[in-house]
Chain A
Amino acid sequence: MTSTEALQSAMLARLGVAAEALGIEVGDVAPGDLLQILSRRIVESRRTDEAWLVYIAVSGSFPTPHQLTNFLSLIELSTTATAMLAVLEGTLAGASQRHVLGRTLRVESERVVVDANFCATQEHNTGIQRVVRETLPKWERQGRSIRIVAWTADSTVMREIDEYETDRVLSWNERRYPVGHRHPMESVEFTETIVVPWKTDVFLPEVPLPSTTAALACLAEFSGNSVTLIGHDAIPLVSAEGQPNSESERFAHFLTVVKHAHRVIGVSESAASEFRGFASAVRAQGLAGPSVTAVPLAGEVPARAAGTRRPGPRELPLVLCVGSHEPRKNQEAVLFAAEYLHHQGHRFRIVFVGRGSRAVTQDFDARVRRLRRRGLDVRSLRSLDDEGLWALYQEARFTTLVSLHEGFGLPVVESLALGTPVLTSNFGSLAEIAAQGGCLAVDPRSDVEIIEGMRRLLDDDDLIARLRSEASNAASRTWSEYAQELWQAADFELAVRG
């Protein structure tokens, strides 16, 4: 078989799958005849969802909004006699990409398609990834009908994930395979299986890669699938100061998916209100925008996290500050407060934990070294495993997260779950958490309030005891509860269908 025949044969198989999805019965027909049948179908039906599906079956790639609208225009202008030529003309650009024509196709209509591309392919594990890696295994265990997908290396289609990637998403806490396995790169020998969501729900728990947003926006707008996503925050736009321009640009493109989504589920009321604001903004474009609800994240820590000792009476009290190092997290203000209190004669240890770009951490770490030389017991840890972090949470007298903008505030709930009080901000998602007890809330823009808050927590044993008691009594939500509430809030069409 020549390579052209092999590609044509692969296309015939894809067209057969698409025909079946469209409820067209075809017998043993030649590729050209099958394409003609499908082309006539979309010319006659004029349905954008059917055109979207046929585009993928022919070209082996997901269309962008620009590609699909061009395709729809050609379909609009053609007759049943010229339908096939219109389809071939309209899909040529999509098909003219390396390896796409040899792909096989699988239509998914029975399960919720979950795009967990980042968690499937990367070892990174902070806020968003932890939400995904805690939630999806719970859905699996709760018997939810989901299919996890990633994207091909060229970001042209959703694909099945392999067993190593499944392990990375569903078994993060108990890995079966060695860390660092890579999905095979596309090659002539390697054929991807496209997963096409069809008349189902698509769930986006991550912020998608920029290279996939155009195809996802097209899917959300034209495919007829219902798209639901987790709204983590709108920080790259709402707090663009202090963010790299590329991050804001990337998020703006993500919003092209959000505007056509069916539903956004915020990780806090505060995050939900940001997305509600965006949903009302798109009405200026004549769009309905997504409906927005909130399901606050869980505050559960693994059982193995408990059991570390508290410091003895002779040790200096520990203040812990956890979070990636970036301007909005306000670590500079905390360090200033620590320096001030040290000058005032307070004796304590303070540890900052979190990664950050060199541009941001260089000056901060230099300042930390300078203060150490002046006698302040301060450390900045850029890398720490989970066990080390749990130990610090429990050793700490209190934790600080006086951030200027958060989507949720995982370090706060995790600290509280381990019984350690928190000095935090008095607005946004952090105030939502603080209202449940165990926290002292201050205005993070006020150095005076931060200093006073830290001073009270260092000096006042009764206050610490009360906050510890509140933290212990606060019912911390488990990830299982979060997963269950999230599923209910998503109200997937499939779930409704039963």
Chain B
Amino acid sequence: MSDDREKELERELSELRDAVLSDWVKVASHATDTLWAMEQTLSWRITKPLRAAKLLRNKVRQVGPSRAIRIAGNQLATKLRPGR
């Protein structure tokens, strides 16, 4: 194979790598943008309390009301507490 042909193939390979990388970047950023966009929708935000209530109801079924409320309280406290 001539040097010119080898260089041409290397250039093509390099372009292919860039194309793969570019697609990968698009996929990664699209995934986060899509998730973020969904979380910003009105329906997602106004149904947040409903989803929380549903989670609590499921937890009550699993472990009983007093334990479920304690778990929920602890989770909330962990989120709010600054640390030790």
Contact = CB atoms under 8 A, between A and B. Distances in A.
A10 B22 CA distance: 12
Given A7-B29, A246-B75, A207 B20 contact: no
A96 B25 contact: no
Interface stretch (B1-9, B49-57, B58-66, B76-84): B76-84
Nearest to A121: B82
A245 B74 contact: yes
Given A92-B28, A207-B83, A30 B74 contact: no
Contacts of B18: 30-33
Contact of B20 (A88, A95, A101, A122): A88
Contacts of B31: 96
Contact of B14 (A30, A98, A207, A246): A30
A297 to B, nearest CB: 16
A206 B83 CA distance: 10
Secondary structure type dominating chain A contacts: helix
Interface string A3-34: 11001100100000000000000000011110
A101 B29 contact: yes
A244 B74 contact: yes
Interface residues of A, number: 35
Nearest to B70: A245
B78 A246 contact: yes
B75 A32 contact: no
Contact of A101 (B16, B22, B25, B75): B25
Looking at chain B's contact residues, the main secondary structure is helix
A36 interface: yes
A88 B75 contact: no
A30 B17 contact: yes
Contacts of A247: 84
A246 B84 CA distance: 12
Interface in B1-56: 14-22, 24-29, 31-33, 35-36
Contact of A8 (B22, B35, B74, B75): B22
A232 B27 CA distance: 44
A98 B20 contact: no
Contacts of A371: none
Contact of B29 (A4, A33, A118, A124): A4
Interface residues of B, number: 28
Contact of A250 (B14, B27, B32, B78): B78
B82 A122 contact: yes
Contact of B82 (A36, A99, A124): A124
B72 to A, nearest CB: 11
A35 B18 CA distance: 9
B11 to A, nearest CB: 10
B17 A36 contact: yes
A128 B82 CA distance: 13
Contacts of A389: none
Contacts of A36: 17
Interface in A388-417: none
A264 to B, nearest CB: 16
Contact of B21 (A88, A96, A99, A124): A88
B28 A95 contact: yes
Among B21, B32, B35, B78, residue most surrounded by chain A Cβ atoms (within 10 Å): B21
Contacts of B74: 244-246
A75 interface: no
A237 interface: no
A11 B28 CA distance: 13
Contacts of B75: 246
Nearest to A118: B83
B36 to A, nearest CB: 6
B29 A88 contact: no
Contacts of B28: 92, 95-96, 101
A85 interface: yes
Given A32-B15, A96-B28, 12 more contacts: A4-B26, A30-B18, A31-B21, A32-B20, A35-B21, A95-B24, A96-B31, A97-B32, A101-B28, A118-B82, A206-B83, A246-B77
8 contacts: A3-B29, A32-B20, A84-B17, A88-B21, A96-B31, A118-B82, A124-B82, A250-B78
Interface of B: 14-22, 24-29, 31-33, 35-36, 70, 74-75, 77-78, 82-84
Q: Please list the 3 inter-chain residue pairs (A to B) with the smallest Cβ-Cβ separation, ordered nearest first.
A: A32-B17, A32-B18, A95-B28
